Each structure stands twice: as structure tokens, then as C-alpha cells.
Amino acid sequence: MTKEHEEEMAVSDEQVENAEESPVLYERDGAVGVLTLNRPKALNSMTVAMLETIGHLLDDIETDPDTRVLVLTGAGEKAFCVGADLKSRGKEFEAGLIHDPLGLLVRSVFGRLENLHVPVIVAIRGYALGGGLELALAGDLRIAAEGARLGFPEAKVGSLPGAGGTQRATRLIGPGFTKELMFTADHISAQHALSMGLVNRVVPDEDLMEETMKLARRIASRAPLSHDRVKALVTRATETDL
């Protein structure tokens, strides 16, 4: 084998390895789909590849009559998601891109999750910060492990939540709590989040997925047509007068 062939094989092996490390995992357990952010070493921070993969999976879920509930969670013990991958963002800026591919995908994917015809339950373990918390807010229900920490840290660096967090958090917990979270940039505990109404339930860390799946299966056993209509009507209720 020539040196050139060895180099070609090395590149091919690397490409195969990268292809196998999918940034998102998906499986279906009966009528419940489970979508897992799969970048635990990077605290499940979001990249273009991750969001594009989620978009493709949503294409399938939207046309799959057998999926009645979607569970969204993050791999590993440290974080659900800590927002955008800053290294990835830095490369975009260095490349001088005029458009914002990650930002465009964030708005598209979050909107599609919010408007998905099936209930979306977000299981939060570890950190859910910035864009990661905004992602969680795009779901219908949120279950947090006791050790979870949630917050909008943008004010520490002179930024602001730009993926719908100001709107979705305000609709969920009101302007007072939303401003407190965003002004202070504090990381709050799961119990504090529960008291605000930011999450629906808090469970022991070791029981997070078991309790989430238990709720998901119970919801999946109900009429999907009702879920679709309820989602649309409740969402509309937060935006319009009687």
C-alpha cells in the first residue's frame, strides 16, 4: 500500500468514526419516542450538526402515527444542555459568515418542538442554562432531577436570551420571575424552579428517566387527537384575549 493510499484510508476511518458519533440519539419505546442530546463531553451544547439532526428526526416524528409522546433529554450526568457550543460559534464568526446558521436552526427547531402535534416532555438532569433552558421551555412539560441547576447566565457576559426565552419564560412563570432570573443570571435549584412553575415536577436524580417514562406512557395511553387540540388551544390562550 502506498503512502497516499494509507492517508486516504486514515481519512476514511476518521470520517466513519465521526459518522458513528451522532450528536443526537433516537429510539422509540412503544408509543413514546426518546430523543437524547448526545454530546455529554461538551455538556450537550448545541451545534449546527445537532440541530440539523433534530430537524430530520422531527420530519419523521411528524409523519409517524405510532409516536404519541416525545421525551427530550441529554446524555450524561452533568448537563441537559448548556446552550450553543461556543467553539462552534467562534468558527462561524472567524469564517466571516454573513448569516447565522446556528441561530436560524435554533429558532426553527425550537418552534417545531413547541408546535409538534404530540406532547413533548423534557427530562432535565444537571445544568440547563441559557439556550439549553430555552430549549427546555419549548417542550410542554418539564421534569427535573433534584440536582438540576437552571438559569439564564447571559447577563454575566452582556448578552441576552435570544431563542425565545424572554417570551416563553414570561408566558410560563410571569414577568416578575422571568426578570429576576435574567437580571441576576443565577443558577437556581430544581426545587426553586418548581416553586416558580418553571418545571412541573422534581424527582430523585436516579429516578428521572423512570418517572419521565411513566408519565409519558400514561399520556400516550390517552387520545392523541385531544392532545393535538389541547396543545393548540392552550398555546393560543397565552397569546389572545377571550
Annotated catalytic residues are 134, 154
User: 130: phi > 0 → left, psi -120 to 50 → alpha, else beta; which?
Assistant: left
Q: From CA 31, how far away is CA 40, in angstroms rounded?
A: 26
Is 86 exposed, middle or buried, given 0-12, 13-18 or 19+ CB atoms closer than 10 A?
Answer: exposed
Q: Residues 157, 123: contact at Cβ < 8 Å? A: no
Q: From CA 115, how far away is CA 200, in angstroms rounded?
A: 19
Query: Which residues are CB-neighbours of 57 under 8 A, at least 6 positions away?
Result: 24, 26, 35
Q: Residues 44, 132: contact at Cβ < 8 Å? A: yes
